[in-house]
């Protein structure tokens, strides 16, 4: 389907790498159908994603990267603090969300001056103030969580049934009601990164939204999608995995940021390895481990006998051995941003040690790679439940307590010993204890993900459904 003329989608992601990247992929998917897209961000965030955006723009797609000044100083943030991962303290979270609210009037002014009136707003769930933009232009408003349908349904049911209020201790276990499968977890494993006032605003904004778009595909989560629609009565479209909108290695390499490593060097190193012999290790764009945990992980990786690629933050303290020799025949250490989608798709990669952020998780599923799950915070413990207990393509490292990701508390939480990590790696890579079945299931999900995004696939059809819904609503409004 090619969109009719004058269909204009406005995308407003939270200024955080894990939210901005899939939203840019959604922009690309819509633009492929002829939709005019305005992608709203701020100057420093625009600089981060410019390599990916420039690749899109060079393809002649109708996407505009719109930079609105971010009022950091006006709300007590350090000058230039425009992304969640730049916050120096958790105490400044509310300041950051207050700053995003000040983008309301500049955004409305931009849209009033745009030659094509806006037709639909796709907004991050943590930006409830954007409903005022939708009201100002009488347009559709769709919510993007960045989560899978399984997690969205869990959060909805926990709130609906007041489950958290009945659990006293943070370490007490609870069962999520109203699911096709039994899901049990601790109270402190649920997201608590947003202030309480903001969570209330988010729920109210979602209740009045016209639907949700989800970075997943029906073949992966059909039962949860069906249950979500029946339980909430809301429209929901699965349009992913959106990372597959990046067709060539150039787009994949620059997805999110410019890679911190010479891609040729990385791929030359991989080409010397056997298929399924390399473990890829990454804890996402903001996940951090403390030095003692880095020591245990490094020892476990070295002791596993497998080759590995280990991605670490620019400022993380590595064990001395890896600092002195970041690249050997056995391992490669990448400091900073890695071209993860491309690396995971390589035939040499046999397993993925992940923090279970949804972007990383679904990228692993797209590549057909089994995982060792090591959740840190947010929705990651729920994603682990999906990967290990429902899809059965992962091995848990056994983390129970969440850890924080900013300020002095970054990386706090339990330290997992090298023996425990080693056992998880053995289960991942050596085929025992159901390892062969896990690998086969992962490969099958990878095939299904690709088919979902092809012309006529479930996610392709759902993108069409989103556009048709907006066009229909736009025609009704124009008559009124």
Model pLDDT for residues 90-114, shown as the tens digit of each residue = 788 889 999 999 999 999 999 999 9
Residue 214: what pLDDT? 98
* pLDDT-derived band at 397, boundaries 50, 70, 90: very high
Determine the average pLDDT of the residues in 64-79: 95
* pLDDT-derived band at 199, boundaries 50, 70, 90: confident
Q: Give every CB contact of residue 59 below 8 A, 6+ residues apart in sequence.
A: none
Query: Is 478 a residue whose pLDDT tops 70?
Result: no
Determine the average pLDDT of the residues in 247-267: 68
In angstroms, the Cα distances linking 460 to 6, 34, 240 are 21, 14, 8
Determine the average pLDDT of the residues in 376-403: 93
* pLDDT-derived band at 303, boundaries 50, 70, 90: very high
Query: Is 427 a residue whose pLDDT tops 90?
Result: yes
Determine the average pLDDT of the residues in 186-193: 78
Model pLDDT for residues 308-343, shown as the tens digit of each residue = 999 998 888 899 999 999 999 999 999 988 989 999
Model pLDDT for residues 137-178, shown as the tens digit of each residue = 999 999 999 999 999 999 999 989 988 887 777 778 899 999
Residue 257: what pLDDT? 55
Query: Is 398 a residue whose pLDDT tops 80?
Result: yes
Residue 464: what pLDDT? 97
Q: What is the pTM of this model?
A: 0.93
Residue 286: what pLDDT? 83
Query: Is 259 a residue whose pLDDT tops 70?
Result: no
Distance, CA of 348 to CA of 342 (rounded, Å): 12
Query: Is 194 a residue whose pLDDT tops 80?
Result: no
pLDDT above 70 covers what percent of the chain? 92
Residue 209: what pLDDT? 96
- What are 311's strand-pairing partners? 334
Determine the average pLDDT of the residues in 79-88: 91
Model pLDDT for residues 243-252, shown as the tens digit of each residue = 999 876 566 5
Distance, CA of 45 to CA of 43 (rounded, Å): 5
Looking at per-residue pLDDT, the higher value among 221 and 58 belongs to 221
Residue 66: what pLDDT? 97
Model pLDDT for residues 347-380, shown as the tens digit of each residue = 999 999 999 999 999 999 999 999 999 999 889 9
Residue 253: what pLDDT? 57
Determine the average pLDDT of the residues in 248-276: 76
- Beta-strand relationship, 184-186 and 173-175: antiparallel
Q: What are phi and psi of 442, to 5 degrees?
A: -60, -45
Helices and strands (H and E) in the chain: how many: 18, 15
Distance, CA of 49 to CA of 420 (rounded, Å): 37
Helix axes 358-366, 435-453, angle to 10 degrees: 90
Residue 447: what pLDDT? 98
User: Which residue ranges form the domains of the chain, and what is each CATH number?
Assistant: 8-245+453-479 (3.40.50.2000), 258-449 (3.40.50.2000)
Q: What is the mean pLDDT of the chain?
A: 90
Least confident of 203-217, 328-342, 465-479: 465-479
């Amino acid at each position: 389907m090619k969109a009719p003329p004058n269909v204009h989608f406005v995308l407003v992601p939270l200024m955080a790498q894990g939210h901005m990247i899939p939203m840019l992929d959604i922009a690309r998917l819509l633009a492929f159908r002829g939709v005019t897209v305005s992608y709203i961000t701020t100057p420093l965030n625009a600089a981060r994603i410019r390599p990916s955006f420039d690749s899109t723009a060079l393809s002649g797609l109708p996407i505009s990267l719109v930079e609105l000044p971010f009022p950091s100083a006006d709300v007590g943030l350090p000058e230039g603090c425009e992304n969640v991962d730049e916050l120096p303290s958790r105490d400044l979270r509310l300041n950051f969300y207050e700053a995003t609210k000040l983008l309301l009037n500049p955004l409305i002014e931009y849209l009033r001056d745009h030659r094509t009136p806006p037709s639909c707003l796709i907004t991050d769930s943590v930006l409830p103030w954007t409903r005022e933009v939708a009201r100002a232009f009488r347009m559709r408003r769709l919510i993007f969580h960045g989560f899978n349908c399984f997690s969205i349904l869990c959060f909805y049911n926990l709130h609906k049934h007041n489950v958290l209020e009945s659990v006293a201790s943070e370490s007490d276990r609870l069962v999520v009601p109203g699911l096709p499968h039994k899901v049990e977890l601790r109270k402190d494993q649920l997201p608590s990164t947003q202030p309480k006032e903001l969570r209330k605003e988010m729920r109210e904004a979602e209740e009045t939204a016209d639907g949700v778009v989800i970075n997943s595909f029906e073949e992966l989560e059909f039962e949860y999608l069906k249950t979500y629609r029946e339980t909430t009565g809301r429209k929901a479209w699965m349009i992913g995995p959106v990372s597959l909108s990046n067709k060539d290695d150039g787009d994949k390499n620059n997805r999110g940021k410019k890679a911190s490593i010479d891609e040729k060097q990385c791929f030359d190193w991989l080409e010397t390895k056997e298929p399924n012999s390399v473990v890829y290790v990454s804890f996402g764009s903001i996940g951090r481990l403390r030095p003692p945990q880095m020591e245990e992980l490094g020892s476990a990786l070295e002791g596993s006998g497998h080759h590995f690629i280990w991605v670490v933050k620019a400022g993380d303290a590595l064990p001395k051995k890896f600092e002195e020799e970041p690249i050997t025949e056995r391992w490669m250490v990448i400091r900073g941003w890695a071209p993860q989608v491309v690396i995971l798709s390589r035939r040499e990669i046999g397993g993925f040690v992940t923090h279970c952020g949804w972007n990383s998780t679904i990228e692993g599923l797209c590549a057909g790679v089994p995982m060792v799950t090591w959740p840190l915070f947010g929705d990651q413990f729920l994603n682990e439940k999906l990967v290990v207990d429902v899809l059965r393509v992962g091995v848990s490292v056994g983390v129970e307590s969440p850890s924080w990701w900013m300020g002095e508390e970054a990386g706090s939480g339990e330290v997992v010993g090298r023996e425990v990590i080693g056992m998880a790696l053995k289960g991942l890579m050596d085929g025992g204890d159901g390892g062969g079945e896990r690998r086969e299931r992962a490969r099958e999900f990878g095939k299904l993900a690709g088919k979902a995004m092809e012309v006529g696939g479930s996610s392709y059809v759902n993108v069409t459904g989103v556009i048709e819904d907006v066009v229909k609503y736009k025609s009704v409004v124009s008559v009124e």
